[in-house]
Amino acid sequence: MTSSANHSNLPVTRALLSVSDKTGILELAQFLHTQGVELLSTGGTAKLLADHQIPVIEVSKHTGFPEMMDGRVKTLHPKIHGGILGRRGTDDAVMAEHGIGRIDLIVVNLYPFEATVAKPDCSLEEAIENIDIGGPTMVRASAKNHAHVTIVVNPADYPRIQAEMQQEAGRISLDTRLDLAIKAFEHTAGYDGMIANYFGSRVAGGTPTAPVQFPRTFNLQMNKLQDLRYGENAHQQAAFYAETKPPLGSIASAVQIQGKELSYNNIADTDAALECVKQFEAPACVIVKHANPCGVAVGASLLEAYERAYQTDPESAFGGIIAFNRPLDAETAQRIVERQFVEVIIAPNPTPAAVAVVAAKKNVRLLSLEAWPAQAKPSLDFKRVNGGLLVQTADTALFDSLSVVTERQPTEPELNDLQFAWRVAKFVKSNAIVYAKNNMTLGVGAGQMSRVNSARIAAIKAEQAGLALIGAVMASDAFFPFRDGIDNAAKVGIKAVIQPGGSMRDQEVIDAANEQGIAMIFTGMRHFRH
Ligand SMILES: NC(=O)c1ncn([C@@H]2O[C@H](COP(=O)(O)O)[C@@H](O)[C@H]2O)c1NC=O
């Protein structure tokens, strides 16, 4: 890393500590004191240090100005900002003229704005008082002058600073200062983004208790988890970014236990498999290929679920991504690795025996995650378009209401299969058709421009796999515009259908189902997936 040629590397002689999160500050302050560093500090931080017999000078004493306006003005003073921003060797004379002493190390973390506004009863006034002004001003000033000054915004970096000062006679290298300055700018960018989002959704259009869903500007901070070897194709560059706190049980919070480096497509497909398998309560297995489930099943055990999911489409399962909703056991792992080529296996907390089984296949990527909460918090979906970004709430709902629209009611097993197939169809790219029986997919038709063709493909797949469709059910992610979808389903042996309804020709479609003796359910909710 490089920075400005005009930099200094003087030992730290004066530090300013001003922190809301006081984790580790006493240990750091004690260390700095033993190194002979003079400590300046704001009210609460100074009191904590003094209470622990660490010599400290209050900022108000240093500036000759009291803290005022309930803490709105504490460090906003030329003696502080001149001490931070002064270029050593360039501004020495003006600093001396105005009695401004160098401040070499700034340790600041900000008022907890995010935690404050997350409280359901947070008022606008409370939010406003938790907008830190003096802190970010010092953070940005120090980061700007990193050629001479060190800024630390995260207690996790305290040990690193201590170790370096100890080894280098009180000095902190330019490389470290630059790295910490970048972290500082990232920190203030994230902080200001949260404030802009808060005001953009609660004041512009909404209220503190009833925010609008989409703020006026969309400020999102993502942290790079890893660079990827390439993107969707080898000539594209790519990286994987994650939210600061990704939800439990998400691909972004998963841990890779073994195997080759994850690729861009691996991550996208694993996400698709994982989010689909989360739909099921009982032991379930989802096999995904090119973002679509090619086999899904529920079983009495994970092994049974896998065996049945595999049967749907063994051809497509080759090189697939396999997701489970229970800890992977050794028996299931053994069956997978001895039978098929698999890119990724993901499951909550695989057992040590399962990990040992997969270890025999060095290339197989095995991912583990924490068990997820029953109701994961809904988040937002994004889609990039040229010159813009489409933002929507995630498709977390399943159906509006289930209403039988035909003369024949579905039998209990049909009803069960209809609900199973509907859950799968939600995760199949549109137009989606899913044939299923006994909690197992028999054929999946995905991503066709015509629904009739998706149905044809689903039937071809079932035939190829030697799976009979007689007595099976069909799920369709969107309504049937014409009766041909039902007539064709009847020809292959489908006995019950689940679909949103809502077509202009619903009655024609219902009549077809009645004529064919098919039971049909409307869900009142469509699940397009592009
Ligand atoms: N007003 C100021 O000049 C000011 N200077 C520093 N702060 C913040 O005051 C907090 C520390 O306060 P205390 O040491 O009193 O607990 C830090 O989060 C720091 O970012 C300030 N507070 C708000 O802007």
Residue bearing tokens 């994004």: 382
Q: Do both 443 and 322 map to the same domain?
A: no
Q: Is residue 4 over pLDDT 60?
A: no
Q: Do both 288 and 433 map to the same domain?
A: no
* Beta-carbon-side half-sphere exposure of residue 125 (alpha carbons within 13 Å): 0
Q: Is residue 373 over pLDDT 90?
A: no
> Does any ligand 1 atom lie closer than 6 A to the CB of residue 60?
no
> Does any ligand 1 atom lie closer than 6 A to the CB of residue 137?
no
- 398-429 pLDDT per residue, tens: 999 999 999 999 999 999 999 999 999 999 99
Q: Atom of ligand 1 at shortest distance to CA of 136?
A: 20
Res. 2 pLDDT band, cuts 50 70 90 = very low
Residue ranges of E strands in 143-242: 150-152, 223-228, 238-242
Query: CA-CA distances (angstroms) from residue 430 to 141, 336, 366, 452?
Result: 52, 29, 29, 12
Residue bearing tokens 């369709």: 476
Q: What is residue 457's three-state secondary structure? A: helix
User: What's the pLDDT at 253?
Assistant: 95
The verdict on residue 220 lying in a domain is: no
The verdict on residue 292 lying in a domain is: yes
Q: Is residue 31 over pLDDT 60?
A: yes
* Beta-carbon-side half-sphere exposure of residue 390 (alpha carbons within 13 Å): 7
**Which residue among 171, 201, 231 closes a domain?**
201
The sheet carrying 105-109 orders its strands as: 57-58, 38-41, 14-19, 105-109, 150-152
Q: What average pLDDT does the structure give for the chain?
A: 95
**Which residue among 185, 201, 217 closes a domain?**
201
Q: How far apart are CA 216 and CA 359, in angstroms?
A: 49
- 280-323 pLDDT per residue, tens: 999 999 999 999 999 999 999 999 999 999 999 999 999 999 99
Mean pLDDT across 156-165? 98
Neighbours of 375 (CB within 10 A): 7
- The residues with which 150 forms a beta bridge, in sequence order, are 105
| Mode of pairing for the β-strands spanning 380-385 and 388-393 | antiparallel
Q: How far apart are CA 130 and CA 146, in angstroms?
A: 27
Q: How far apart are CA 19 and CA 91, in angstroms?
A: 28
Q: Is residue 379 over pLDDT 90?
A: no
> Does any ligand 1 atom lie closer than 6 A to the CB of residue 314?
no
Q: Lowest-confidence range among 49-63, 211-225, 254-268, 328-342?
A: 211-225
> Does any ligand 1 atom lie closer than 6 A to the CB of residue 63?
no
Nearest protein Cα to ligand 1, atom 8:
135
Residue 390 CB-density burial (10 A; 0-12 exposed, 13-18 middle, 19+ buried):
exposed
The verdict on residue 354 lying in a domain is: yes
Q: Do both 414 and 342 map to the same domain?
A: no
Q: What does the block give as tokens for 380?
A: 């937002």
The verdict on residue 458 lying in a domain is: yes
Residue 42 Cα to ligand 1 midpoint, Å, equals 7
Q: What does the block give as tokens for 53?
A: 């017999």
CB 517 within 8 A of CB 406: no
Q: How far apart are CA 382 and CA 495, in angstroms?
A: 38
**Vertex 443, ends 476 and 308: CA angle to 5°?**
120
Helices and strands counted in the chain (H then E)? 19, 21
- 92-150 pLDDT per residue, tens: 999 999 999 999 999 999 999 999 999 988 999 999 999 999 999 999 999 999 999 99
Query: CA-CA distances (angstroms) from residue 182 to 19, 102, 151, 444, 511?
Result: 19, 22, 10, 48, 66
Q: Do both 417 and 314 map to the same domain?
A: no
Q: Do both 361 and 463 map to the same domain?
A: no
The verdict on residue 130 lying in a domain is: yes
Q: What does the block give as tokens for 244?
A: 């600061």
> Does any ligand 1 atom lie closer than 6 A to the CB of residue 206?
no
CB 14 within 8 A of CB 37: yes
The range of the structural domain enclosing residue 52 comes to 14-201
144 belongs to the catalytic site: yes
Q: How far apart are CA 432 and CA 395, in angstroms?
A: 15
CB 375 within 8 A of CB 398: no
Whole-number percent of the chain with pLDDT over 70: 98
Whole-number percent of the chain with pLDDT over 90: 92
Q: Is residue 522 over pLDDT 90?
A: yes
Q: Residues 424-444, buried b or exposed e (16+ Cβ, 10 A)?
A: bbbbbbbbbbbbbbebbbbbb
119 belongs to the catalytic site: no
Q: What does the block give as tokens for 63?
A: 């500036």
Query: CA-CA distances (angstroms) from residue 117 to 208, 258, 428, 430?
Result: 9, 40, 37, 39
Res. 259 pLDDT band, cuts 50 70 90 = very high
Angle between helices 352-359 and 330-339 (to 10 degrees): 20
Angle between helices 134-144 and 78-85 (to 10 degrees): 30
Q: Do both 160 and 269 map to the same domain?
A: no
Q: Do both 261 and 364 map to the same domain?
A: yes
- 451-505 pLDDT per residue, tens: 999 999 999 999 999 999 999 999 999 999 999 999 999 999 999 999 999 999 9
Neighbours of 316 (CB within 10 A): 20
Q: How far apart are CA 440 and CA 429, in angstroms?
A: 18
Q: Do both 441 and 505 map to the same domain?
A: yes
The verdict on residue 223 lying in a domain is: no
Nearest protein Cα to ligand 1, atom 20:
135
Residue bearing tokens 């706190």: 245
Q: Do both 189 and 322 map to the same domain?
A: no
Q: Do both 318 and 433 map to the same domain?
A: no
Residue 71 Cα to ligand 1 midpoint, Å, equals 7
Could you say which of 22, 144, 183, 260 is catalytic? 144
The verdict on residue 121 lying in a domain is: yes
Mean pLDDT across 182-203? 95
* CATH at 186: 3.40.50.1380
CB 35 within 8 A of CB 54: no
Instruction: Name the domain count of the chain.
Output: 3
Which are the contacts of 245, defined by CB distance < 8 A and separation ≥ 6?
none
Nearest protein Cα to ligand 1, atom 16:
44
Q: Do both 258 and 314 map to the same domain?
A: yes
Measured between alpha carbons, how far apart are the two ends of the chain, in Å?
Answer: 42
Q: Lowest-confidence range among 19-28, 209-218, 228-237, 427-436?
A: 209-218
Q: Do both 153 and 293 map to the same domain?
A: no
Q: Atom of ligand 1 at shortest distance to CA of 45?
A: 14
* CATH at 314: 3.40.140.20
Q: How far apart are CA 296 and CA 286, in angstroms?
A: 5
**The one-letter amino acid at 493:** G
User: What's the pLDDT at 1?
Assistant: 44
Q: How far apart are CA 2 and CA 329, in angstroms?
A: 50
Q: Is residue 5 over pLDDT 60?
A: no
Angle between helices 174-202 and 134-144 (to 10 degrees): 140
The verdict on residue 233 lying in a domain is: no
